Amino acid sequence: MTTEETRSPLDRLLSPRSIAMVGASNSPTRIGGTVFANLLRAFPGEVHPVHPRDEVVQGRTAYRSVADLPEAVDMAVIAVPAPAVVDVVAACAARGVGGATVITSGFAEAGPEGRALQDRLTAVARETGIRVVGPNCIGYMNTHGGVMANFMVTVDEPLPTPGPVALVSQSGGFGSYITNKAVLAGLRLGWFVSTGNESDVNVANVLRHLVERPEVGVLLSFAETLRDPEVFVETARRAAELDKPLVLLKAGRSEEAARAAMSHTASIVGSARVLDAVCQQYGVFVASTMEELLDLGTIFQDGRRARGDRVVVMTSSGGAGVLLADEAGLAGLSVPVLPEEEQRSLAEKMPVPFYGSTVNPVDTTAQTTAMPEAYRKVLFSVAGSPSADMVAAVTWARPGPANDAIVEMYGGTDKPVAILSTAWSEQFQEAGVPTYTDPRRAMVALAALVRQSRRGPLPETGFTPDTERIGRVRALLSEAGAGTETTLLESTGKRILAEYGVPVTPEEQVTSVEAAIEAAERIGGAVALKVMSYQLPHKSDAGAIRLGLRGADAVRAGYLEMVDEVAAREPDARVEGVLVQRMVPARMELTCGVNRDPVFGPMVALGLGGVLVEVLSEAVLLRPPFDAGTARAALRDLLGGRLVTGRRGLSDAEQDAIAQVMTGLGDLALELPEVAEVDVNPLRVADDAVYAADALIVVGHG
């Protein structure tokens, strides 16, 4: 077995040792000419042009077809008309080529005919095992391997400096825009991959591949959709395990943007709230803007980590120092007052007379511009302060002793540093000093670094379906309306919830007023009466509920009044019975449920319940499987933590019980794909216990 045969097709595609280009051209104005010239710039291996007529392309011997190539190359770049692409890729597969980068457009983005052509391309990839990037992509760049298989960089532009940052973009054009902006901002891009229409290889596949590369330390991504959510989640888990930050900028968050994404790459766009929740659950940073994407790449690329959240600010401008301190606080960072001993030491290094501050921010005032040695001493003292986990400094983007001192300080400390500058500085870029032009952006970046520094590997959440439980629950589902109803009765829904460890209220279903009185006596205390009918999923709208009934007379009167009202308001509703239910106390009401996202699948939601669910509309979301610890952590995020820390917040026992409800619903969603929706509202909380007081389960999807 040869070395090439032992390498995976994706590795051969993205880290090739030999390359062919079908559609290579001698014309510098054609894409085939630009890409081929780029391929020749830094690649250490063989590069073979394929051209039907020219014998030589840019000084290299050309071959008439893929079949004529002298070797089974690792990767082929394809830039031929769309109708010819599928046959060329098939020929590459037959020749033993590992992968193809298809730059050609005119596929799914171009309408039904292009969609059919792309489907054929996908079929060839699946049938033969060749991996395909594109079509309709700008290509990719692997500077560590000298691979410039793209046309985003022209031949007269310098090659980017190889570094630890990898950028993966579904969009080629905007990916090129981000790449150029990243280079200007000082990011050291080792990788750029555009995936285009993703007929085979998608953003998640590339991220999963790159997270294992030793030269990659930071993963940045721009996507319109995530076609392989399981791989994305697996990548996030692996990134957390390897301490490699993963940052996502997602397009298509609004309905208007979703329509644009559909027309651009024929994407399926899921809920933005779900994406944000999944990213938070698995430790992925979500950038709200392109600038934030690059800002996080800037702060992460040197690999430094913060020991805490304390930042010490040094400035010669009082106003800039105050702004930095403000933004630090808003970002969740601490700006501690320096101890008196440190302040005295700093004051001794300041110019005399001194009109600034040693408190933090440390304000050296403009005097230090004329006394560079004093500035340097203060800067190094700030960086070495035991009170500083991170350092922020203000400067002007011009050569001079102050910036020389900043570069020296940065190289002499392992603490994270963020410099607020009037502009990007070539001196700082060459030294790798993280530079920002706005106080907020600098502090948001440092706050993200603190979050990354505090993270560890994600908890293991393996899931094994309980086949016996699945059998029992499916028997209940088949009994419901003879298997024809999609919305279950509350009583059936609660029996199902109980199978998953969800505490339900003591209750009995009856068919007569006398049976209701007897059930109420057995249950004890105040009871609620509810009409059970498949035609009345929302009982209160039809008067099908009575609350707080005590004693036989109240139960009899409530039962008869309720049945009469339902008959008058909903004469076509078929009554299956009446549920007699204990009224459990509630200091607080929550709602917990399951819904299915078109991209990420089942999601468990927890929010404020009862009448507040639609008023406040605040919820936390988790993707199963997850453990109780993850559920409790999500619960602490609701209402900014006030649900747990408030004066009448949830007790430990109540938090445990709610976490059990959440994990139980997660298990239900994984075991029963035919359940489309679960709504437990209200979930009544009091006295260290929780109870599901109502439940709506909808079936029909699987």
> Among 530, 554, 552, which Cα is nearest to 543's?
530
What φ, ψ does residue 692 adopt, rounded to 5°? -80, 110
Q: For 292-307, what is the mean pLDDT? A: 97
How many CA atoms, within 13 angstroms, populate the side-chain half-sphere of residue 650?
Answer: 27
How confident is the model over 343-372, as a mean pLDDT? 82
pLDDT at position 171, please?
A: 86
**What is the rounded distance in angstroms from the CA atom of residue 379 to the CA atom of residue 371?**
13
Contact 178, 185 (CB under 8 A): no
Vertex 623 angle, CA 619 and 626, to 5°? 105
Does the global pTM surpass 0.85?
A: yes
Tens-place pLDDT, residues 228-239: 999 999 999 999
| pLDDT interval class at 252 (50, 70, 90) | low
pLDDT, tens digit (0-9, with 9 covering 90-100), for 305-320: 999 999 999 998 888 9
Q: Report how far residue 531's alpha carbon sits from residue 562's, in angstroms, rounded to the nearest whole number.
A: 8
Distance in angstroms (rounded) separating the CA atoms of residues 110 and 113 = 8
Over range 410-435, report the average pLDDT.
95
| Residue burial 143-160, b: 16+ Cβ < 10 Å; e: rest | bbbbbbbbbbbeeeeeeb
User: Could you tell me the sign of the dihedral formed by the alpha carbons of 389, 394, 398, 402, in that order?
Assistant: negative
Q: Which helix (H) or strand (E) holds 435?
A: strand 435-436
The residue among 36, 43, 37 whose CA lies nearest residue 15 is 43
Mean of the pLDDT values across residues 670-697?
A: 94
Position 498 pLDDT exceeds 60: yes
Q: Average model confidence (pLDDT) for the chain? A: 91
Q: How many CB atoms lie within 10 A of CB 618?
A: 15
Q: In this predicted structure, what is the pLDDT of residue 319?
A: 87
Torsion angle (degrees, nearest 10) of CA 149, 150, 154, 157: -60
Write down the pLDDT at residue 255: 52
CA-only gyration radius of the chain, Å: 32
pLDDT at position 11, please?
98
By the 8 A CB rule, do 31 and 77 touch? no
**Cα–Cα nearest to 187, from 290, 102, 299:** 299
Residues in CB range of 569: below 8 A, 6 or more apart:
542, 543
From first CA to last CA, the distance across the chain in angstroms is 44
pLDDT at 89: 98
Could you tell me the pLDDT band of residue 370, with boundaries at 50, 70 and 90? Answer: low
Q: How confident is the model at residue 190 (pLDDT cuts 50, 70, 90)?
A: very high
Tokens of 626: 């997850």
pLDDT of residue 257: 42
What's the average model confidence in pLDDT over 549-574? 96
The candidate with the shortest Cα–Cα distance to 363, out of 371, 352, 355, is 355
- If one compares 171 and 126, the residue with the highest pLDDT of the two is 126
Cα distances from 245 to residues 163, 426, 447, in angstroms, run 15, 25, 13
Within 8 A by CB and 6+ apart from 178, the residues are 167, 169, 222, 290, 293, 294
Closest among 477, 500, 497, 480 to 681, alpha carbons compared: 497
pLDDT in tens, 123-152: 999 999 999 999 999 999 999 999 999 998
493: buried, middle or exposed (CB in 10 Å: 19+, 13-18, 0-12)? buried
Provide the pLDDT for residue 253.
57
d(Cα 297, Cα 456) in Å, to the nearest integer?
19
Q: How confident is the model at residue 270 (pLDDT cuts 50, 70, 90)?
A: low
For residue 365, the model assigns a pLDDT of: 81
pLDDT at residue 427 is higher than 70: yes
Distance CA 640, CA 635 (A): 10
